[in-house]
Amino acid sequence: MPDPTPDTTPHPSDPTGPPEPSGPTGRQRLRSALHSRWSRGQAVVGVLLAVLGFAAVVQVRANDAEQVFVGAREGDLIALINTLALATDRAEEEIADLRRTRDSLQDDAESTATAVGVARERADTLGILAGTLPAEGPGIRVTVEAREGELGTEQLLNGLQELRNAGAEAVEINDEVRVVAQSGIAEGSDGRLAVDGVFLEPPYVIDVIGDPHTLSTALEFDGGFIEEVEEVAGSVTVQQLDVIDVTATRAPAPPRFANPVEEE
């Protein structure tokens, strides 16, 4: 009779059964790793993995886009190329328009600056000739010594006219009155001379801006201003100077009858 099979089931109290695990289980180790702090090396590895993942996504999307064009029909590709060409042409036309506008603005600015400069120069010239602006430049200083009442309006008017004919650009007498083409010379009842209503006292100092040599020569002609003054017991001294300051001015008189003509 065969022997009965020995009972190998471990008994709870049997000290010879399989040993209990002494270390943490795999689940415990995973939980511990997730809850533990990352080291610097782990962080770097994580960042690199994220970058690689992003690059992979971009590459996949680019490949998908290329696949769209690869699978497109020839007519669709031609239409797309034509659309891009038209957009490029429109952009180039807009750039050309902007450049033309820029050049036009630059030309207009230069033209405006030139016109303003010419207008200012003309205004200065007219202001000097009309006596509304002070002036300086080379010229002569004429000093007339004569007793009051001896030098008359005829001699002074002839002298001023000779200076005008010789190119005088600005004339001033006694630092008081500016002599212009519209100036009036009168003689008072006491023999005193008055220019534009301003009575003058001798000696009469006439400052004139112009070419010094031409101006002084104009007064020295036979029968000219110097001889006329000497005939009435006066004397004339002429100095040629590099700088003459004419400071007296007069207010512009508005025209009474003339009106400007509008340009067409």
In whole angstroms, what is the distance from residue 67 CA to residue 51 CA? 24
Give the pLDDT confidence score for residue 12 in this predicted structure. Answer: 47
Residue with tokens 């008081």: 176
Give the pLDDT confidence score for residue 1 in this predicted structure. Answer: 44
pLDDT single digits (tens) 140-159: 999 999 887 778 888 999 99
Please name each of the domains of the chain with its CATH number. Answer: 135-246 (3.30.70.1880)
Give the pLDDT confidence score for residue 35 in this predicted structure. Answer: 54
Residue partners of 226: CB distance under 8 A and separation at least 6:
219, 220, 236, 238
Give the pLDDT confidence score for residue 57 in this predicted structure. Answer: 59
Distances from the Cα of 101 to the Cαs of 20, 98, 170, 227, in angstroms? 92, 5, 46, 68
Distances from the Cα of 105 to the Cαs of 70, 119, 147, in angstroms? 48, 21, 66
Each residue's pLDDT, cut to its tens digit, for the chain (264 residues) gives 445 545 544 444 444 445 555 556 656 665 665 555 555 555 555 655 665 666 665 555 555 555 555 555 666 667 667 777 777 888 888 888 888 888 877 777 777 887 788 788 888 888 898 899 999 999 999 999 988 777 888 899 999 999 999 999 999 999 999 999 888 999 887 878 999 999 998 899 999 999 999 999 999 888 889 999 998 888 999 999 999 999 999 888 788 898 888 766
Give the pLDDT confidence score for residue 65 in this predicted structure. Answer: 52
Give the pLDDT confidence score for residue 236 in this predicted structure. Answer: 93
pTM of the model: 0.58
Element housing 93 (H / E): helix 74-130
Give the pLDDT confidence score for residue 87 in this predicted structure. Answer: 79
